[in-house]
Structure 1
């Protein structure tokens, strides 16, 4: 399925020359910083040089004093503390962070991570009751609990103290859960400067507060600043990048400093995970891309396909052999996840090709008997990538339809579900991602209602992939020096996207060369510059344009530094290609 790509080119920044002079940076980098709202040399220096002194004091977070006091009291009284997490990267790394900090201070920690299929997301009253019966008197949630009013009432009724740490938005209409403390920058009256922390970053702030309070009594702040907190930033960085929070402000600092520390993975679990992912931080610095696409999927595979609690064991064990076994298990689970995903996706693509009604629908609802519920969210994302349409993938098990959906700009998917609210036994989410369950016999009615809703809201809209281009750039200005400056934008991701440039009127210096039937290599000429270019999965599209030596194109691209022995050096990677009208 071929979907039109529309280019959206950012307008030139009139103050770019001034910022480039004042900050002593290249003009293209000044353009990119201005587009990110960075307008002065001082702001540019802070953005390009993340440092520990840019981290905010955890004391600024509402509820922090009460949370620290209650945890310290539990440690002093030798009360075991239950950490209640979530089964994704954010939740499991948050448990690791707090568990490590509390145990460093002499506390006893147990943890519970729910099983995605058997228990589902969120705090469960039954687990709280079991914990109380086992002698637990304090529960600390991480990455969950913000809307758990009924469960908080259960805790109060049975005499269980509860601290909630979470980053999800509180309900606009319901009161906050009644508990001993809530740590969430998004709650009303919280003046903490960074509102978009992930769950593990909030756990990191709590750990930071606990450790700072302890180290202040030892009168040794240097040990905390230079040795202890940097090791905690590794986990916080993995979660920050994996959870796709905006990589700006304090999130950028956490991610950048954590990636720096990941160059020296001391813990057995991290070393084993890097080895399983064939990453060697000793020879090549770990990037945000490595975390998002190689490390995070392996961690998430545990929660999607099996038991996420083993991730916590991986990151806390000191046994090298056990760490290797656990990392290898994650590798197996990740392969199983990929295989299950590929099988279901092939079936979905077959239906999109053969089913005319589905192919023409403005919103896609695709269901399968027994598709693994741990992958339906990934499948929905893959369908959106291929079709540029909102997509919902449904797994049917034992008469129940479990669905996960992803959307596109301008179509709030949660509002679409709300139009069919009476059909669901449960549903929730936000504009771009939703989840739900309903009796399978209601699925036909749901499809009919959602497609009708989408026809009304998307009536005049053609599906298209939007390519955001950040600046125009002549090929002759692409140098190793510029590439080095652009590396200073790392870590890249949500809120801090990788720059995409455009050069118009580029001529093919030689005939295109196809690699492995799918990829393409081009040699480009513009002015006095000759530049190598690679296009992954672009061979068919280049052939459709009839490109040959001498062809003239407009090229959107990303700048790459290739370390291949035959093709080393600066090159560009195709992000978009158009043949200008003659």
Structure 2
């Protein structure tokens, strides 16, 4: 049975809760939830508008970038958008290409092409040889999206070739080296940028450039009205997908982007987006949830860059041909199936490697876990690293090897800054990595295979001094402890109003005690469970336990607790409302459980 987790309950904020409850006429748990998350003005939180989007011209470098692009469009110059192969990069490419083309004068179309790198053949980042080919083809302006903030060699090459370079990115700059020598750099994370939202995804940064261009191009009142009522909302559909997929903070402006964009995704008109939602089996008569975007749309978009060529995504979102859209969407769906099969095979090998790393008590050492295998596909390394973190509670670097080089991805845990760790072990003599980058929770890197032992030694030495025991105890943070009488459909509906949920704004997690099993536990497909419950108030409800890679084996766990009708449990869960006409009602999606009054689940407050 998995080691027990520590349950931590967020303390209530009494004064703010009372004020919010009076203002909203909402259930007390909702007011308490909003207060604990620092929501003092519920209007922009519950009902965002376009007015909540920040002024793009406050981004450092924006004015110069807009002026140069407008000049290029007027003069018929050839423009290259240099993208990336994930959701963020492909969506950014589509957004900026579409916006630039919209600013052209009638009869003088903008000359805009794009390049999305191949993950295996080119890898991440701008390549100097691609810039050389661009210059030879007559391109005079290159705009990077979702990449470029550390592209010092590419920036120098662009200058040598006579190319003007505009960098749009959201990744962290190299603190020591500064920013590339480009005509303009747009990145809210760069030093000196006054833009208030430092957590835009790459596609949102590109959208800000698109927004500034479109605002300049809208000269008449009719054009400005159409921009606000139609064009900007249409762009936000894709920006929302990228914002959710890139796991940036869903607070402030990012929340407004996601909320507005999800609303626009109901019944999409663009053929590619519509076809992709259809193959993902998303209904077209309502806005999708952030969870549906993150787990059903985003993997299919990412599959192109992971398993084949990401330019298919750009073409999917640009095409106006329904037949081509259906073919491309089906191709992405097929690639996603291939990705899942590849991932499953690799996970089996990972489980074998992890077995050799545990102590006799089944524990892992307090260090970054490093795994490598020559047959693992480079396109799924990030996913595999996330699975290792889920499985072990440790940061992880996962690599594959080919032609004398190792290529890897890393994922981390709360409190351990993974990019800082890679920077520290590389800076010892600046010879470890061929390239690396990323942020606190996710990194990508490459190095010669001969340096793998050095990587293992350095990251172990670095991490064992920083990964204190407190960080390694699995912890479940509960937003509230609910009374059984609180578990109502009305509370479920209010929780839906607080969506979308994501990074820094997670779906609420609740704790309720002394729930009574009303019937035997039902096992579903040998892995999942349904627990019929009855509350102290006599209401019937059910708890569902889904056995995924990051959750317990529920049938085994329930058997270990010897749960049977009449048993009392304490449960940690997310709240759902099952709307099935026959067996619907309030439903708990289990995160953890233990017998009532068990010392395993005595929560702490912090």
TM-score under structure 2 normalisation? Answer: 0.91
Please point out which of 520, 533, 558 is paired with 1:542. 558
Please point out which of 555, 559, 571 is paired with 1:555. 571
Structure 1 distance, partners of 2:224, 2:438, is: 42
1:257 aligns with 2:255: no
Please point out which of 377, 384, 389 is paired with 1:379. 384
SS of the equivalent of 1:172 reads coil
Offset of residue 52 of structure 1: 1.4
Q: How does 1:39-438 map to 2 (within 5 A)?
A: 39=40, 43-106=41-104, 107-217=110-220, 219-282=222-285, 284-353=286-355, 360-362=364-366, 363-418=368-423, 420-421=425-426, 422-438=431-447
Offset of residue 487 of structure 1: 0.8
More displaced stretch, 337-346 vs 96-105: 96-105
Could you tell me whether the CA contact under 8 Å between 1:3 and 1:386 is conserved in 2? no
Q: How does 1:445-460 map to 2 (within 5 A)?
A: 445-458=454-467, 460=469
- C-alpha distance after superposition, 1:224-281 (max 9, x if no partner): 1111111111111110100111111111111111111100210110111011111122
Could you tell me whether the CA contact under 8 Å between 1:475 and 1:529 is conserved in 2? no
Structure 1 distance, partners of 2:440, 2:190, is: 20
Could you tell me whether the CA contact under 8 Å between 2:267 and 2:274 is conserved in 1? no
- C-alpha distance after superposition, 1:151-193 (max 9, x if no partner): 2222222221111111112221223222222222222332222
Offset of residue 460 of structure 1: 4.3
The residue aligned with 2:604 is none
Structure 1 distance, partners of 2:228, 2:470, is: 53
Could you tell me whether the CA contact under 8 Å between 1:23 and 1:45 is conserved in 2? no
Structure 1 distance, partners of 2:3, 2:412, is: 16
Structure 1 distance, partners of 2:393, 2:373, is: 21
Q: Where do 4+ consecutive residues of structure 1 move more than 6 Å?
A: none
More displaced stretch, 251-260 vs 58-67: 58-67
Offset of residue 32 of structure 1: 1.2
Residues 279, 173 of structure 1: alpha-carbon distance in 2 compared, 3 angstrom cutoff: same
Structure 2 distance, partners of 1:132, 1:372, is: 33
Residues 460, 101 of structure 1: alpha-carbon distance in 2 compared, 3 angstrom cutoff: closer
Structure 2 distance, partners of 1:406, 1:522, is: 34
- C-alpha distance after superposition, 1:338-367 (max 9, x if no partner): 111100101111232356579744332221
- C-alpha distance after superposition, 1:451-486 (max 9, x if no partner): 344444446468433211000111222222221111
SS of the equivalent of 1:304 reads helix
| RMSD value, Cα | 2.0
Residues 212, 567 of structure 1: alpha-carbon distance in 2 compared, 3 angstrom cutoff: same
1:574 aligns with 2:583: no
- C-alpha distance after superposition, 1:535-559 (max 9, x if no partner): 2122221111111111121111111
More displaced stretch, 89-98 vs 387-396: 387-396
More displaced stretch, 234-243 vs 179-188: 179-188
Structure 2 distance, partners of 1:97, 1:557, is: 38
Offset of residue 84 of structure 1: 0.7
More displaced stretch, 25-34 vs 374-383: 25-34
Residues 408, 3 of structure 1: alpha-carbon distance in 2 compared, 3 angstrom cutoff: farther
Could you tell me whether the CA contact under 8 Å between 1:87 and 1:116 is conserved in 2? yes
Provide structure 2 residue ranges, at least 5 long, that are not aligned to the other structure: 105-109, 548-553, 600-606
Q: How many residues align?
A: 578
SS of the equivalent of 1:100 reads helix
Offset of residue 403 of structure 1: 2.2
Structure 2 distance, partners of 1:286, 1:99, is: 26
Offset of residue 412 of structure 1: 3.2
SS of the equivalent of 1:496 reads coil
Structure 2 distance, partners of 1:273, 1:4, is: 40
TM-score under structure 1 normalisation? Answer: 0.95
Structure 1 distance, partners of 2:221, 2:74, is: 17
The residue aligned with 2:514 is 505
Provide structure 1 residue ranges, at least 5 long, that are not aligned to the other structure: none
Residues 307, 344 of structure 1: alpha-carbon distance in 2 compared, 3 angstrom cutoff: same
Could you tell me whether the CA contact under 8 Å between 1:3 and 1:387 is conserved in 2? no
